[in-house]
Amino acid sequence: MTHPSFALAGRICAAGLLLILVSGCGALRPTATPQPGFYSLDNAWIEARAATRSPATLAVRGPTLIVNPPHAASGYDSQRIIYAREAYKLEYFAHNEWVDTPARMLAPLIVSAVETGGTFRAVVLTPSAAAGDLRLDTEITRLQHDFAGQPSRVRFTLRAYIVDNKTRRILASREFDESVVAANESPYGGVVAANRAVQTVLEQLAEFCAETAANWHPAGAEVPKLTEEGLPGR
């Protein structure tokens, strides 16, 4: 005859073994991976500004500008969204990325922003068979969500050079640096701030290109002399 205490102990052991087996099976199941978020640099503001521009402002005698695809400094040439908590150390959000590298997203935005100024006869993104009078070279040296202070900020820095295509001479260069406070500390808050920073820099870049073109004269062309009143003479 089986003693009742032995039967009870057996049932407890069996239940414990079953619990261990169930727990083990659960541990072997793959955990759910968070779906990545993909973000872009938007051009809605450029389209809105272009819609308000009068066709009469388009330049018919202005120079043609060739825009080279932007370069990116080391660390900023991937689709990963960068943030920083301390100086000299770049980190990446685990499940949030750009839909493309910032440099490739920025290229058509530069063309559209400069076009809306109406200064150039044409603005062409390379590679292209078109010949141009001036060339715009740019480099992204910083695009990061900075958590070193509160509130956090997104900083975007772009270096630009305008070159005379015929003489290969650099006519003008400038570094644009913009910092925008993030609405919140999330990756999306940083993306919104990044778009605002890019918008401000591209507006400044368009003005820079227009100013340089206004002071440019084709190589070999006669520079008009000014009268005492400051007007072009004959």
List, for residues 62-95, the tens digit of each pLDDT value: 899 999 999 999 999 999 999 999 999 999 999 9
User: Where would I find the beta strands (DSSP E) of 147-223?
Assistant: 153-164, 170-181
User: Where would I find the beta strands (DSSP E) of 88-146?
Assistant: 89-98, 122-125, 134-146
pLDDT in tens, 195-221: 999 999 999 999 999 999 999 988 765
Flag whether pLDDT at 38 surpasses 60: yes
The DSSP secondary structure of 122-138, one letter per residue, reads EEEESS-S---SEEEEE
Predicted confidence at residue 128, as pLDDT, reads 77
Question: Which helix (DSSP H) or strand (DSSP E) does residue 38 occupy?
Answer: strand 37-39
HSE toward the beta carbon, residue 230, CA cutoff 13 A? 0
d(CA 165, CA 215) in angstroms, rounded, equals 15
Q: What are the Cα distances from residue 168, in Å, to 110, 134, 163, 217?
A: 21, 9, 6, 14
pTM score, whole prediction = 0.77
pLDDT in tens, 121-166: 999 999 877 788 999 999 999 999 999 999 999 999 999 999 999 9
Region 105-123 average pLDDT: 94
Domain boundaries, the chain: 65-214
User: What tokens were used for 221?
Assistant: 């062309």
Which fold, 65-214? Rossmann fold (3.40.50)
d(CA 144, CA 127) in angstroms, rounded, equals 28
Residues near 87 by Cβ (< 8 Å), separated by ≥ 6? 148
